[in-house]
Amino acid sequence: MQNYPIGTPGEPWGEEEKAQWKAQQTVKRSYQEEVLNKLFSIIPEGFELKQYGALPYDTARYPLYAVIPKSFDAEKPSALVTGGVHGYETSGVQGALQFIETKLAQYAEQVNIVVVPCVSPWGYESINRWNPMALDPNRSFYSDSPAPESAQLMQLVSDLALSLTLHIDLHETTDTDNSEFRPALAARDGVTHDNWNIPDGFYTVANTPSPQIEFQKAVIEAVKKVTHIAPADENGKIIGADVVSEGVICYDKKSLYLCGGMTDAKYVTTTEVYPDSDNATPENCNDAQVAAICAALDYLN
């Protein structure tokens, strides 16, 4: 793996290196224009916007919103949909917005659904995996988390006090995982990471202690109608993990402090779309995320 331009190889970053990294980050797109303006105009009847916090880097610029039912029915199962935990993974955010606009209302009779379309708006604007403190929100879902993106989302879920049956977390695997983000991670931590082959296609990440393979298969089968499924590499793996079913790998989400591990939901999956494929478009990636959400919700009924 190539040397990263910040820091000394083999030595973890200190505050100086983190500040140097932060100084290199720039705004590349608008959270207000691409997310909030859209979100404010697409809330279906029976739902409302709940501001559950704001990022301390700029509270006016980065308010945090969830779409929640105006009333919860204790007789229905409850589901959480999260997007944009990694802000650079565009279809996680835009797919969640598309689901809110086109599909949310039709599932409201069967399921209490909470949608958080953009957990990391600073990351969305700067097209980043990390937050300004060089922390990965998707490795920060634990008590007293230093990542405000993670801490405030966990507080929202706690405040809602729902017994969640389903949590689907929307992500992408991109070419920049190898070209930028994994080299940055190795440099920050003073370690070496081998690059993995970026899989060409959609896959899901199940939860190792309870993978619920039939549920994962249902998501894969639905997404097949929209986009192609990632094949295993020559070692039978996807991003270094064993393929346990077509397009399905497992991570222990709680031990890694992933967003998908923050609840005790029975059915948990992380979607991974490959937007850099020659066979994909932004619209196709958004459609795949929506198909995955709908398949997950359909599985509950």
**Tens digit of pLDDT for each residue in 49-94?**
999 999 999 999 999 999 999 999 999 999 999 999 999 999 999 9
pLDDT digits (tens, 9 = 90+) for 3-56: 799 999 999 999 999 999 999 999 999 999 999 999 999 999 999 999 999 999
Q: What pLDDT was estimated at residue 3?
A: 77
The fraction of the chain above a pLDDT of 70, given in percent, is 99
Residue 2 binned pLDDT confidence (cut-offs 50, 70, 90): low
Q: For residue range 250-300, what is the model confidence (pLDDT) as tens digits?
A: 999 999 999 999 999 999 999 999 999 999 999 999 999 999 999 999 999
Q: Residue 18: what residue type?
A: K
Q: What is the mean pLDDT of the chain?
A: 96
Q: What are phi and psi of 21, to 5 degrees?
A: -65, -45
Buried b (16+ CB within 10 A) or exposed e, 27-57: eeeebeebbbebbeebbeeebeeeebbbbee
Position 257, amino acid: Y
Cα(253)–Cα(259) distance, integer angstroms: 8
- Whether the CB-CB separation of 223 and 290 falls below 8 Å is answered with no
Structure tokens at 153: 């989302």
The token duo for 77 is 């199962």
Residue 100: predicted pLDDT = 98
Q: Which band of pLDDT confidence, cut at 50, 70 and 90, is reported for residue 108?
A: very high
Residue 196 confidence class, pLDDT cut points 50, 70, 90: confident
First to last CA, the chain: 46
Best CA proximity match to 289, nearest among 300, 297, 301? 297
Mean pLDDT of 144-150: 98
Q: How confident is the model at residue 1 (pLDDT cuts 50, 70, 90)?
A: very low
Alpha helices for 103-227 (secondary structure H): 104-107, 121-126, 148-160, 176, 182-189, 213-224
Beta bridge partners of 49: 67
